[in-house]
Amino acid sequence: MFFFFVLVEMREVKEIRLGQFSKDFGRWPEEAKRITPLRCFILFYGSEFKLKSLSIAALSQKECELWLRGLKNLIADTIVAPYPLQVERWLRKQFYAIENNREVVTLKDVKTFLPKVDCKISTNKLRELFQEVDTKRRGEIGFDDFAELCHKLMFDDSTFKDILEEYSSDSDMGRIVTLHDLTKFLVKEQGENVDGNQVSQHMRDYLQDAQRDVIEPYFTTIEFLDFLFSEQNELWHSIYETVCQDMDRPLSHYWIASSHNTYLTGDQFSSESSCEAYVRCLRMGCRCIELDCWDGPDGMPIIYHGHTLTTRLKFIDVIRTIKYHAFDTSEYPLILSIEDNCSLPQQRYMATTMQKVFGDSLLKAPIDKNETVLPSPAVLKKKIILKHKKLPDGADDGSILLRTEDGRDMDLRNTVKNGVLFLEDPVDREWNPHFFVLTQNKLFYTDSFHGDQDFDDEGEGEEESSQNLSHLRPKEGTSNDELHFGEKWFHGKLPGGRAEAEDLLKAYSHLGDGTFLVRESETFVGDYSLSFW
């Protein structure tokens, strides 16, 4: 038995899914079979498009239900938490990450922490602010002093000095912003049409503090500054929060939230294809998603970015995923944009599968046989629509375009071969991978290639192969982001220095006066040397 710890921030949890629908359960199939899916759930969390997942198996079905109920309540509570509490939670998270075993932090700890939150400040200024909050002169501070220091860093006194002098009052607790002060500020500075009663309720809703749930609440100066940057003081006017659009017009009259290459989690050459990418897009509100369909093994279509190294998905897995999540966010119709590169037998399989999986949700016939315009989104609620371009008679090929260096589009399906080959770098003498495309009269290749996914080449008449490119890494030590990196006249680091540059110019002297080359300077690191013939 082994134990491990995973920290998941509740605000980053995007979905809790009951069952065993994750790769983690697939990695241990024997163990997963011994556990009923009703005892399992998956947390999907993160701030990037590609979410992380945490797969969990409870000891019993009842315990699983309790976990799900508790987690959902925690997430809901986190989302609606008052802004001051959100700020405090964030500060505590940062403090706990850098504190020592005595639950304090030093100036050195704070200095290390600031670059992580993009805060640039001189050491002298930071030391000055640290000493202001370190009233006991111990060279270390607890959480309360750390929070005060962070507020000093966020809110420069010189920026808000005039505002605080005009819109705050003296009290036994120091300077505070009273109900009258805030009302005057909102009316005079922000041009809001509010009265004292509205502002009082607004302040109580913001604070959610039982001790200040009174007719005339107040803000501390720090709370006031936090309020200025909170959602409760956002520029968006509340009258626009209720959207009442006419959804009874023809479907073609609307802008539709669409996704291209929906299945990809990264680049279009070698990234991972994932069913979770479909889930993510659907939950983000997309109403048109793309399926690139190709002939797969055993008569089963697959989805991937054709003629590239992206991983493959089973068509049936994608369809089932879409079925489960099609209307999680919106009840308006979902359009499946199908780029069909499959043979007729596999197209028939696709049609049968979609009818079976989607059932009555699939739009298979016109709503009105006599219609002269497309149906409206309101009429098509909870419907799945197929957008499909039929192949010409006798054709079974689709097309994939590659943009060449002269700006023209080249159909990858008309190429002789494509894949990964290695080139020796003329400067570092290292072999680096590039994605090559061979045509009848020309060979194209990318400047660089980053391969970290398994892939297989299922070309017609070729034996299936699987290669692992996880060992490939972009070359280090050579700056290839310069605009001149790929130019013929740029020679990078010449081992022979000036003498080798002179030999090269002599070798190409037939090009005439003005022949030149650029190399990296040996004397001034980071600069370049220009040599002319």
Lowest mean pLDDT among 122-136, 190-204, 361-375, 504-518: 504-518
Q: Which residues pair with 294 in a beta bridge?
A: 302, 341
What gap in Å lies between CA 73 and CA 82, rounded to an integer? Answer: 16
The whole-number pLDDT of residue 454 equals: 40
What gap in Å lies between CA 64 and CA 55, rounded to an integer? Answer: 12
Instruction: Provide the annotated active-site residues.
Output: 260, 305
The whole-number pLDDT of residue 13 equals: 94
Can you point out the beta strands (E) in 132-179?
A: 140-141, 169-171, 174-178
- For 240-253, b where at least 16 C-beta lie within 10 A, e where not — what string? eeeeeeeeeeebee
Tell me the fold of 251-388.
TIM Barrel (3.20.20)
Domain 479-533: homologous superfamily in CATH: SH2 domain (3.30.505.10)
pLDDT in tens, 345-354: 999 999 999 9
Helix axes 221-228, 83-98, angle to 10 degrees: 100
* Cα 157 to Cα 118, 160, 222, 398, distances in angstroms: 20, 6, 11, 63
Structure tokens that stand for 374 in this block: 């497309």
CATH class of 84-154: mainly alpha
* Pairwise pLDDT comparison (407 vs 21), residue with the higher score: 21
* Pairwise pLDDT comparison (493 vs 251), residue with the higher score: 251
Can you point out the beta strands (E) in 372-495?
A: 384-388, 401-403, 409-411, 417-424, 431-438, 443-445, 454-457, 465-468
pLDDT band of residue 427 (cuts 50, 70, 90) is confident
1.10.1740.10, 3.40.50.1100, 3.40.50.300, 2.30.29.30: CATH of 10-80: 2.30.29.30
Nearest to 14 by CA among 85, 83, 78: 78
* Pairwise pLDDT comparison (140 vs 24), residue with the higher score: 140
Q: Which residues pair with 519 in a beta bridge?
A: 529
What gap in Å lies between CA 450 and CA 435, rounded to an integer? Answer: 9
Global pTM reads 0.64
Structure tokens that stand for 259 in this block: 């996704």
Per-domain boundaries in the chain: 10-80, 84-154, 158-233, 251-388, 401-468, 479-533
What gap in Å lies between CA 447 and CA 433, rounded to an integer? Answer: 9
What gap in Å lies between CA 7 and CA 407, rounded to an integer? Answer: 48
Structure tokens that stand for 487 in this block: 């130019």
Q: Residues near 79 by Cβ (< 8 Å), separated by ≥ 6?
A: 11
What gap in Å lies between CA 491 and CA 401, rounded to an integer? Answer: 32
Lowest mean pLDDT among 150-159, 273-282, 432-441, 502-511: 432-441
pLDDT at 379 over 90: yes
